[in-house]
Structure 1
């Protein structure tokens, strides 16, 4: 399933998973919960660290910046409460 890890703002411990299949968020939580989710799914911890590093630096785990803070598109539809 094509998906991105998105971080709505650089100064908060909130992450979401955005699915391009349903064109919406499918999960939200903090960094620890996201790491646990990926670990439970069998994802290599090094890969998770790489995804989180990109999300922390740009707002998205996508290597091309889709859904990140500087993306001019409208992919990211999430509001912090």
Structure 2
């Protein structure tokens, strides 16, 4: 008797999940999260916009983290380096 559709679907789901997690791990292996930092609503320009004031009416402070990925200088495109040198 051939395998049922449910069995094939579960196998495909398992294989796709494995390859998805493996791909994500390889893609992000050089990425690191920096220490979270807190922004002051009174001084940060982001908190002065109307959109943020609408959804944060009491000006609660927010905490952000940054994902940092280190790459070699030889991998940076030349036009980006020139643009950074020009300011």
TM-score range, shorter chain: under 0.3
TM-score, normalising length from structure 1? 0.24
TM-score, normalising length from structure 2? 0.22
Report the structure, 1 or 2, having the larger strand content: 1
Return the index of the structure with the highest Cα Rg.
2
